Amino acid sequence: MLTDNMHLKLLLPSKIFVDRTDITEIILETSQGSYGLLPHRLDCVAVLVPGILTFSTIADGEIFVAVDEGVLVKTGLDVLVSVRNAIVGSDLGKLREAVEHDFLATTEQAQQVRAVMAKLENGFLRKFVSLEQQ
């Protein structure tokens, strides 16, 4: 029997965020643009950029999920999405605000952490060079 439903698993680093088997369509954002996945589309791998992943279900219709960077792998009817962060919402305006607030704050924190790490690495290298020169 030919089924027209995909199995979507959306994974975060700490948990399974979505695990549904009644998916009829998925729309995702990549650096190359938006793509739609239907159940019998060829298998693929896609690098996701921060944006809105939309999927349609039999019971609930369209569901919007704001996702951070990640990867999507489709094999047969199974679709596995792994991202760092995700937020579900039905109102795109509120979801956009949440993305801007949460994801951009995370990006700013990551930049601050990278800056501190760079300073620590530079300090370590200077110390190491000065010890070698002695």
Answer yes or no: is 68 within a domain.
yes
What is the C-alpha to C-alpha distance for residues 106 and 112, in angstroms, rounded to an integer?
Answer: 10
Alpha carbon distance 65, 49 (integer Å): 13
Residue with tokens 């998916």: 23
Q: Is residue 99 part of a domain?
A: yes
Q: Is residue 92 included in any domain, yes or no? A: yes
Most confident of 58-62, 71-75, 95-99: 71-75
pLDDT tens, position by position, 27-42:
999 989 999 999 988 9
- Smallest CA-to-CA distance from 103 within 78, 70, 81 is with 70
Residue 1 belongs to a domain: no
Rg (CA), the chain: 20
What CATH code is carried by the domain that includes residue 23? Answer: 2.60.15.10
Domain range enclosing 129: 6-133
**Mean pLDDT over the full length of the chain:** 85
Quick: pLDDT tens for 1-32. 456 899 999 999 999 999 999 999 999 999 89
Q: How many domains does the chain have?
A: 1
38 falls within a domain: yes
Beta carbons of 34 and 54 less than 8 angstroms apart: no
| Structure confidence at residue 98 (pLDDT) | 74
